[in-house]
Structure 1
Amino acid sequence: MGTERDKAYAMAIAAVGRAEGELDKVQDELFSLSRTLGGSEELLSTLTDAQVPVARRQQIVEDLLAGKVSKSTIATVSMVVAAGRARDLTGIADELVALGAAEGGRDVAVVRSAIDLTDDQKARLATALQQAVGRPVDIRVVIDPSVLGGLVAQVGDTVIDGSVRRRLDLLKQAI
């Protein structure tokens, strides 16, 4: 999870999201966006470069996200970038998702998959994970080509590895 500062940002973002009636949407979009942004060192460097004026960094965010995410999410990312915290976006998103899940009495399941999952697949996975961990879960999918196939789910400290890579590793050990 993130730092105390990440938690503070998450709580503020949650309060605004609730007031605007878009908390769930902002949680989903910010989680996905933070994973994408975290994978682009060049973009992160630009968004954290003190030599680039804050207004220009915010404009980059707006240009990249316009029409792809809600205005609330754009405003949130823009605020985080203006505060010089673009590198903290993943921690902030994780805290925001955890906060929302905790308020609903659920756990967060971060699921790594080589491809995006359909809504039906997410629902079936949520049911299976709920049975495995004994609590309702919110599914958050991270696209990870290194998984090759199958899924790797993490709920708190519990990791369930059903990936092809894991099965191949087990096969190698058996041979």
Structure 2
Amino acid sequence: VAGYAEALFAVAAAEGNQAAVEDELFRFAQALRSNDELRSTLADQGVPVFRRQQVVEDLLDEKASATTSALVSMVVGAGHAAELPAIVDAMVQLGAASRNKAVATVRSAVDLTVEQRDRLAAAINTRTGREVEVKVVIDPSVLGGVVTEIGDDIIDGSVRRRLNQLRESFR
């Protein structure tokens, strides 16, 4: 995983569009995590490599840069589609570390605007004392609010947690 993460990081840096590639790879990895059929198809060694790579190209066509598409195709072609989310997570960590930041993975029921992401990053910076890059994961199970993970630290600002706390207070 680490070797592939370093390779992806190096290619994105060399292409000069590292932030965009990191974001596109992160979004693709999230899609892969949440779609069992896609994950199964891309990892199925019984499906010819060119067909699995065609699935990647079809999915990313006009939605991601040529660099991102080529990197995902390379990992899938090498037979490591199942590890792609872990590879991308490690690559994103490398990118953030190169900018002296930590990654804050934020789960929310809806996507956040740039302004909301910036405000959230500022609040996390203030609360934790660490500079962070916010990566949003759309998670419909989060009823409202957000759940933030920074390394091993979890900040649960979800409505579900507040409802559970309220329920516990009535017992």
Please classify the TM superposition score into its range, dividing by the shorter chain length. over 0.9
Aligned to 2:131: 136
Aligned to 2:6: 11
Aligned to 2:86: 91
Q: Write the distance in 2 (CA, Å) between the matches of 1:45 and 1:102.
A: 31
Matches of residues 113-132 of structure 1 in structure 2 within 5 Å? 113-132=108-127
Deviating beyond 6 angstroms after TM superposition, the runs of 4 or more aligned structure 1 residues are none
Unaligned ranges ≥5, structure 1:
1-5
Q: Cα offset for 1:45?
A: 1.2
Q: How many residues align?
A: 170
Are 1:38 and 1:87, in contact at CA under 8 Å, matched by a contact in 2? no
Q: Write the distance in 2 (CA, Å) between the matches of 1:70 and 1:41.
A: 24
Q: Cα offset for 1:52?
A: 0.9
Deviations 1:122-156 (A, max 9, x none): 00000000011111100000000001100001111
Aligned mate of 1:157, from 152, 157, 161: 152
Aligned to 1:41: 36
Deviations 1:60-83 (A, max 9, x none): 110111001111100011011001
Aligned amino acid, residue 100 of structure 2? G
The TM-score, its normalising length taken from structure 2, stands at: 0.97
Q: Write the distance in 2 (CA, Å) between the matches of 1:85 and 1:24.
A: 23
Unaligned ranges ≥5, structure 2:
none
**Percent pairwise identity:** 54
The TM-score, its normalising length taken from structure 1, stands at: 0.95
Q: Cα offset for 1:157?
A: 1.6
**RMSD (Å), alpha carbons:** 0.8
